[in-house]
Amino acid sequence: MQETYASADGLITSILSGIEEVKGNDISLLDLRDIENTVCDYFIICNGTSNTHVNAIVNSIQKTVGESIGDKPWNVEGMENSEWVLIDYVNVVVHVFQKHIREFYDIESLWGDAKVTEVESSFNQ
């Protein structure tokens, strides 16, 4: 069991670094481990300011994770319009939104039982 969480911690750290690298906004980490019948252990949610910014965030996450821990996503969906891109690393799923799409779907409210951690950005917005 410990190995799973250790690898999740490394994956989460790499994903957050990838988001920070290209100034992704409003980063949240949802811990789903105490909720029954979830599809993964964690969601990481952030947003970009445009299609181009969302694409840059997604590409930065994949590059950073690949270089730091050698992991590749199991699946990536939503690159066609880059309004909501989902990157599935099996036990960690990343949602990269444009701000208005994130507000519309409000995933944080749908998973209201999750432990939510707001991640402070190292840059000024």
Do residues 24 and 48 lie in contact, with contact meaning Cβ atoms separated by under 8 Å?
yes
pLDDT tens by residue, 61-112: 999 999 999 999 999 999 999 999 999 999 999 999 999 999 999 999 989 8
Query: In whole angstroms, what is the distance from residue 2 CA to residue 85 CA?
Result: 29
Decide if 47 is inside a domain.
yes
Q: Look at the chain and report how many structural domains it folds into.
A: 1
- Three-class secondary structure of residue 121 per DSSP: coil
Report the Cα–Cα distance between both ends of the chain, in Å, rounded: 38
Domain extent at residue 56: 2-110
Decide if 118 is inside a domain.
no
pLDDT tens by residue, 11-70: 999 999 999 999 999 999 999 999 988 989 999 999 999 999 999 999 999 999 999 999
Decide if 125 is inside a domain.
no
Decide if 99 is inside a domain.
yes
Decide if 120 is inside a domain.
no
